[in-house]
Structure 1
């Protein structure tokens, strides 16, 4: 008979704790940079392809249309993005980065780099690579 790990050391429980702590720390660092949770991902996707439709962003961010509509409104008010009607289809809106949004991307990059450093602090390069490989396998397993 295989010995079961103690519940607090179960892989699932450890992953939950890590995800919560990482999200909370990341959100705190983003808040210091005056960026709300989730806005970093939206700005990142716009940096890859500016002028995306709302529907495209909903799909990429895996969030509800109502949630992204509120986020876009807040970010437009703060000046990070602008929303414009599509030139060919007036029913469709496209979202664009503004200069302020591009500045925010620099702050986001710093936060993400800090989070990567905190996550791997104390690990050797070999351990980091092993962790990355193991997490990639877990990701594959759960898809």
Structure 2
């Protein structure tokens, strides 16, 4: 059935993209997923770990482990909220902020590799199809 083939193709594409992208991120000492957490902080610094879980659609232990790993690399730090001491917020260090350009360059490189050979209108159509698939699943 065509639906099975599409699922298999999506699985293969996803797995290969992850391998390729992980290799690109290795150059800046990051792993897949850590870039997404940093991206959320580049957009809005000082998010709580609960907010990061919501934005990343990850379980709390996953985010906790990512934050710890990024802290060890000197890219983020945690600080108690001034208004509510029970809440811990995650902030970028200057080193974490400086990775924004290099990570975005790698995202663009990955996307260009993925979409090579597609005309602009085909890219738009593919995006529309994928947004519909996402909507169907959520």
Which bin holds the TM-score, normalised by the shorter protein? over 0.9
- After superposition, where does 1:2-17 map in structure 2 within 5 Å? 4-5=1-2, 10-17=5-12
Structure 1 residue ranges, 4+ long, deviating more than 2 angstroms after superposition = 4-7
1:92 alignment partner, one of 83, 87, 90: 87
**What is the distance in 2 between the residues matched to 1:67 and 1:89?**
23
**What is the aligned partner in structure 2 of residue 35 from structure 1?**
30
Deviation at 1:115, TM superposition (A): 1.0
RMSD: 1.4
TM-score in terms of structure 2 length: 0.93
What 5-or-longer segments of structure 2 have no aligned partner?
A: none
Report how many residues are paired: 138
**What is the aligned partner in structure 2 of residue 19 from structure 1?**
14
Deviation at 1:6, TM superposition (A): 9.3
